[in-house]
Chain A
Amino acid sequence: MLGNYFETAIRPHIAGRFADMLRAVVEHTSMIRYLDQSASVGPNSPAGQRRHVGLNENLAREVLELHTLGVNGPYTQTDVRQFAELLTGLGIGPEGTKFIPNRAEPGAETVLGQSYGHGRPSLDAIEAFLEDLAMKPATARHLAGKLVTHFIGPEHPQDLVEDMVTAYLADNGSLMAFYRVLLAHPAALSPQAQKVRPPFEYIITCFRATGITQEILESITPREMRESILKALEGMGQQPFHPPGPNGWPEEAEAWITPPLLAARISWAGKLAHDHASQIDPRQLLDTILGDTAPGELSFAIAAAEAKWEGVALLLVSPGLMRR
């Protein structure tokens, strides 16, 4: 089900407006279940009165904290409650996401100083708020900060974030506006490699480095996939589709390189090199991958390796390959 979430709620909107992505995410059945929206009922709605059930504020809080304004953004506990009331009715029917008016809290709600949901309860009121929320400067700042942290690193010029905010707001909340400013900035062109590739990205990098092609990967059995890839990802701290919390995978390099997690990377990459890279010349591969940026100690260590595959293994576990 999470695969569907990525394919239908995230990917189609990567180059579109953030408001559209936000709406798709909030209204996806995976999200509605994951953050308990399906269990939230307006206490004064017909369903709430009859079944003595009420609000669950989980989705409302995380949308404001994680997906839009950010934890230091301009919202209060009252906004969380009011937004939770506004979200009531959003639920799941037999055929997927469904607005169930019977569960919607009657009357308008005031969220972030603005009133929503006059008249009959409907999905439109929720979507109107999400549209406004996507266009808040605090949302733009939070998103820009996340993108810069992801693609450049925790240490980045603040003016870059502000330039991205301005461009996003001027371009009707288009994500492309973010990317244009980000990619044109000098900081993006001379990266300091502050980050560590998360495990999924890391194993793809290793596959590409050692010539493990898509055809080879497609030919392996589900059992081999589980043993050689899924278990490895878990050992490196990234069980697919199971991030530690609703805030997703960590960005900090420190989170991915603890002693046990690094040991898991070394064990896996060593086996990969041993089993599949005995014919690769590590010195050539080093030159192909790192070129001029290869540090002297790595060239020296690779030259000192006793077998070709050991040299490849050293390259695969080197900071130059794990960092980006």
Chain B
Amino acid sequence: MTLSRRKFLGRSLLLGCSAAASPLVTPVTWASMPGENRLVVIILRGAMDGLDIVQPVGDPAFAGYRQKLKTGEAAGAHELDGFFALNAGLGDLMPLWRAGELAFGHAVSTPYRDKRSHFDGQDLLETGSGASDFQFSANQNGWLNRMLTLLPGADIHTAFAVGRERLLLLEGDAPFSAWSPELSFNLSDQAQNLLGMIYQNDPLFKNAITVATEIANEMPEPQMNNARPGSAKILAEFAAQQLNGEARIAAFSIGGWDSHNRQANLIKRQTGTLAEAILALKETLGANWGSTAVVAMTEFGRTVRENGSAGTDHGTGGAMLMAGGALSGAKVHGQWPGLGELDLYQNRDLMPTRDVRANVGWMLRDLFGLSVSDLERVVFPDVTLGDNPRIIA
């Protein structure tokens, strides 16, 4: 399959040629399908403090930077590998660690440096750009969408953006689905036809209504339950349901990590949410958890020193979380830069020793069989993948 055909598929959907109706888009056109492996990407918005989540308690300098912010045993952290300890709030994930289904990357970052803006940082994380000083332009697209363009047999059902908000990560030429679990949207055929007519000359509306009607028709009625609508647990369950069907890729975000003030409270709440989401994925995926990898990543890390209000300010290097039965084992991946004053980035932040995109790139290669050269050229331009950390079994 060539890229140009892929692009044609993207455009044709935009022009309203529904995937089911087009003879060009039937599965027999391609020799292979996306396979059985599954990927869930969770964007952690607000800059998660990687040093609080995966605490380097074995680094002699660490405790000195964090006095009001309790760490290690005093904070109920769970021993991981003798050097790192896991924040108490993620304690419910320890069974996954023991089962070899939980891993981390530490001292990772995007190429973004110095201005430490959440919004540019997130745009850069989602576009997978190689720029250190981000300038957003309207024609940028998400790396997960570029990955889709390389995936044999991918169609509109292959990737799912879960939640109501725009997810730049999945935007681009390749068609994808987007829906939110609490929505119910039933239109008569007549209404669908008329809407198709009035949106025919406005690609933004045209694409949205095409996806909305196609998806909504396939969705079961939203179920009533006790969880808060839009909560990460609900999003995760919905994502897993899609992955149990035709979807192989799902993405959603969990916001609220910006811990400038009284970080302990905030991290307790946030880690609870994250753990709940991951466990909901595992439970709903059932046997499919074995072929699933989850990756949760954030725009940047936070200052090594706690600030004046028992929080941390915007930093650089941080941590990423991986989970799922497709992992090679429980491990904190990465090269530890140390926390001595001279080891820090600008005497302030954790020094990044690995591009977060390199870890994700290898995961994409090992999950979906993409080539390193395609990953370095199409998905993450300007990245060098380097050695395979073997995050995926």
| Chain A residues within 8 Å of B, Cβ to Cβ | 35-36, 39-41, 43, 48, 52-58, 61, 65, 71-72, 76-77, 154, 196, 235, 237, 244-245, 247, 250, 252-255, 257-264, 266-267, 295, 297-298, 300-301, 304-306, 310, 314, 317-319, 322-323
Tell me which of A35, A77, A250, A304 has the highest count of chain B C-beta atoms within 10 A of its own C-beta. A77
A318 and B199 CA atoms in complex are apart in Å by 7
Question: Are B309 and A257 in touch, CB under 8 angstroms?
Answer: no
Question: Are A259 and B197 in touch, CB under 8 angstroms?
Answer: no
> Is B314 at the interface (CB under 8 A from chain A)?
yes
Given contacts A36-B261, A39-B308, A301-B197, contact A258 B178 (CB under 8 A): yes
Question: Are A61 and B314 in touch, CB under 8 angstroms?
Answer: yes
How many Å from the CB of A102 to the closest CB on chain B? 14
Contacts of B46 in A (CB 8 A): 245
Q: Mark B145-161, 1 if CB is under 8 A from A, else 0.
A: 00000000000000001
Question: Are A305 and B194 in touch, CB under 8 angstroms?
Answer: yes
- Write the chain B residue with the least CB distance to A88: B308
How many Å from the CB of A279 to the closest CB on chain B? 21
Question: Are B201 and A260 in touch, CB under 8 angstroms?
Answer: no
Question: Are B197 and A254 in touch, CB under 8 angstroms?
Answer: no
> Is B346 at the interface (CB under 8 A from chain A)?
yes
Question: Are B118 and A260 in touch, CB under 8 angstroms?
Answer: no
How many Å from the CB of A56 to the closest CB on chain B? 4
A76 and B116 CA atoms in complex are apart in Å by 10
Given contacts A244-B165, A262-B208, A264-B183, contact A56 B308 (CB under 8 A): yes
Given contacts A237-B164, A255-B166, A260-B178, contact A56 B309 (CB under 8 A): yes
Question: Are B205 and A319 in touch, CB under 8 angstroms?
Answer: yes
Question: Are A244 and B138 in touch, CB under 8 angstroms?
Answer: no
Question: Are B116 and A259 in touch, CB under 8 angstroms?
Answer: no
Q: Mark B193-230, 1 if CB is under 8 A from A, else 0.
A: 01101111110110011011001100000000000000
Question: Are B183 and A260 in touch, CB under 8 angstroms?
Answer: yes
> Is B115 at the interface (CB under 8 A from chain A)?
yes
How many Å from the CB of B376 to the closest CB on chain A? 28
Question: Are A56 and B311 in touch, CB under 8 angstroms?
Answer: yes
Q: Which of A57, A61, A77 contacts B346 (CB 8 A)?
A: A77
Contacts of B262 in A (CB 8 A): 39
- Write the chain A residue with the least CB distance to B121: A71
A297 and B255 CA atoms in complex are apart in Å by 41
Question: Are B197 and A56 in touch, CB under 8 angstroms?
Answer: no
Contacts of A237 in B (CB 8 A): 164-165
Question: Are B164 and A314 in touch, CB under 8 angstroms?
Answer: no
> Is B114 at the interface (CB under 8 A from chain A)?
yes
Q: Could you pull out 14 A-B pairs where Cβ atoms are within 8 angstroms?
A: A39-B260, A39-B261, A40-B309, A48-B308, A55-B307, A56-B308, A254-B204, A259-B215, A261-B164, A262-B205, A262-B208, A262-B212, A314-B198, A317-B195
Closest 3 CB pairs between A and B?
A54-B308, A39-B309, A259-B212
Q: Which of B116, B171, B187, B216 contacts A254 (CB 8 A)?
A: B171
Given contacts A36-B311, A257-B208, contact A263 B183 (CB under 8 A): yes
A38 and B45 CA atoms in complex are apart in Å by 23
| Chain B residues within 8 Å of A, Cβ to Cβ | 45-46, 67-68, 114-120, 133, 135, 138, 161, 163-166, 171, 177-180, 183, 185, 187, 190-191, 194-195, 197-202, 204-205, 208-209, 211-212, 215-216, 255, 260-262, 307-309, 311, 313-314, 346, 348
- Write the chain B residue with the least CB distance to A253: B204
Question: Are B201 and A244 in touch, CB under 8 angstroms?
Answer: no
A65 and B117 CA atoms in complex are apart in Å by 8
A305 and B116 CA atoms in complex are apart in Å by 52
A224 and B30 CA atoms in complex are apart in Å by 53
Q: Which of A71, A154, A318 contacts B119 (CB 8 A)?
A: A71
Tell me which of A76, A154, A245, A259 has the highest count of chain B C-beta atoms within 10 A of its own C-beta. A259
Q: Which of B118, B209, B212 contacts A245 (CB 8 A)?
A: B118
Question: Are A55 and B308 in touch, CB under 8 angstroms?
Answer: yes
A310 and B198 CA atoms in complex are apart in Å by 13
Tell me which of B120, B180, B191, B204 has the highest count of chain A C-beta atoms within 10 A of its own C-beta. B204
Question: Are B115 and A65 in touch, CB under 8 angstroms?
Answer: yes
Contacts of A264 in B (CB 8 A): 164, 183
Question: Are A56 and B313 in touch, CB under 8 angstroms?
Answer: yes
Q: Which of B171, B180, B198 contacts A260 (CB 8 A)?
A: B180
How many Å from the CB of B46 to the closest CB on chain A? 8
Q: Which of B67, B198, B307 contacts A319 (CB 8 A)?
A: B198
Contacts of B346 in A (CB 8 A): 77
Question: Are B120 and A54 in touch, CB under 8 angstroms?
Answer: no
How many Å from the CB of A44 to the closest CB on chain B? 11
Tell me which of B115, B198, B202, B348 has the highest count of chain A C-beta atoms within 10 A of its own C-beta. B198
Contacts of B67 in A (CB 8 A): 52
Question: Are A58 and B164 in touch, CB under 8 angstroms?
Answer: no
Contacts of A305 in B (CB 8 A): 194
Q: Which of B133, B308, B314 contacts A43 (CB 8 A)?
A: B308
Question: Are B201 and A297 in touch, CB under 8 angstroms?
Answer: yes
Question: Are B171 and A235 in touch, CB under 8 angstroms?
Answer: no
How many Å from the CB of B205 to the closest CB on chain A? 5
How many Å from the CB of A63 to the closest CB on chain B? 13
How many Å from the CB of B18 to the closest CB on chain A? 14
Contacts of B202 in A (CB 8 A): 319, 323
A56 and B311 CA atoms in complex are apart in Å by 8
Contacts of B313 in A (CB 8 A): 56-58, 61
Contacts of B348 in A (CB 8 A): 77
Contacts of B138 in A (CB 8 A): 154, 252
Contacts of B171 in A (CB 8 A): 254
How many Å from the CB of B212 to the closest CB on chain A? 4
Question: Are B178 and A56 in touch, CB under 8 angstroms?
Answer: no
